[in-house]
């Protein structure tokens, strides 16, 4: 049901966009942004499970790594599905198409957008460990930071450099910047590393209690 809702959200965004601007790039952006709202939920479920985090056991690090790989693969799949939705919507609306090289850059950007969104989800899941709260955090925290930084810097520079949303706009415009590395570090690498370390601590402390 969650997967269907994600795809329907993307299809709805495509339908609304093609009513006014049937251009592939302009259709692709709202499709991917809409889908990226729900994609992190899969990342949360991948690391927490439906009934909370499993008890740490020997080899749990490898199981966690496998779940992260699966989550990233799923994000790539959703990104490509979003590209297909945008392409079909553009074709049906008789919209315009950029050059092939530009399309390749847009597809790569779409994949990066959904992978970042998914890793935000896994990071929240590892840090919070309660699926419902972690899912809410994937929306509230990034958008809250975006609104706050937008209020501080009306030019949008801080939003572009420090938030997934601002970076996604550049990626879906086919114009990635150095901000990509900053966003990946702040929103993907640090939360997942800290969460993984926190998750592993109970298992390491078990011999001392024994």
The pLDDT score that the predictor gives to residue 51 is 42
Helices 131-152 and 164-171 cross at an angle (nearest 10°) of 80
Q: Contact, 5 vs 38, CB < 8 A? A: yes
78 Cβ contact list (under 8 Å, min separation 6): 6, 7, 35, 39, 114
Return the residue matching tokens 């991948």.
46
The pLDDT score that the predictor gives to residue 202 is 52
C-alpha distances out from residue 204 to 30, 60, 208, Å: 45, 11, 8
Structure tokens at 202: 């109970």
Helix/strand/coil for 23: strand
Q: What is the pTM of this model?
A: 0.89
For the chain, the structural domain boundaries read 2-199
User: Residue 3 — φ and ψ, nearest 5°?
Assistant: -65, -45
C-alpha span between 7 and 13 (Å, rounded): 10
C-alpha span between 144 and 56 (Å, rounded): 32
The pLDDT score that the predictor gives to residue 61 is 73
Point out which residues pair with 96 in neighbouring strands.
Answer: 23
Question: How many residues make up the chain in this entry?
Answer: 210
Per-residue pLDDT for the chain (210 aa), expressed as one digit of tens each? Answer: 999 999 999 999 999 998 887 899 999 999 999 999 999 999 999 998 644 444 455 556 788 889 999 999 999 999 999 999 999 999 999 889 999 999 999 999 999 999 999 999 999 999 998 999 999 999 999 999 999 999 998 888 899 999 999 999 999 998 888 999 999 999 999 999 999 988 776 544 444 444
């Amino acid at each position: 049901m969650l997967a269907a809702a994600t795809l329907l959200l993307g299809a709805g965004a495509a339908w609304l966009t093609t009513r006014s601007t049937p251009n592939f790039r302009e259709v692709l952006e709202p499709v991917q942004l809409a889908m990226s709202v729900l994609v992190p939920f899969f990342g949360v479920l991948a690391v927490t499970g439906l009934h909370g985090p499993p008890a740490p056991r020997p080899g749990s690090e490898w199981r966690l790594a496998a779940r992260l790989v699966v989550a990233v693969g799923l994000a790539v799949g959703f990104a490509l599905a979003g590209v297909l939705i945008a392409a079909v919507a553009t074709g049906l609306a008789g919209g315009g198409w950029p050059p092939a090289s530009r399309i390749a850059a847009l597809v790569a950007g779409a994949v990066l957008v959904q992978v970042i969104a998914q890793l935000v989800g896994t990071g929240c899941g590892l840090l919070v460990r309660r699926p419902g709260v972690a899912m809410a955090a994937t929306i509230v925290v990034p958008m809250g930071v975006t609104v706050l930084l937008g209020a501080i810097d009306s030019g949008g520079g801080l939003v572009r450099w420090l938030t997934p949303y601002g970076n996604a706009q550049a990626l879906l415009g086919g114009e990635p910047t150095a901000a990509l590395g900053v966003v990946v570090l702040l929103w993907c690498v640090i939360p997942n590393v800290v969460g993984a370390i926190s998750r592993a601590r109970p298992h390491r402390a078990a011999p001392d209690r024994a």
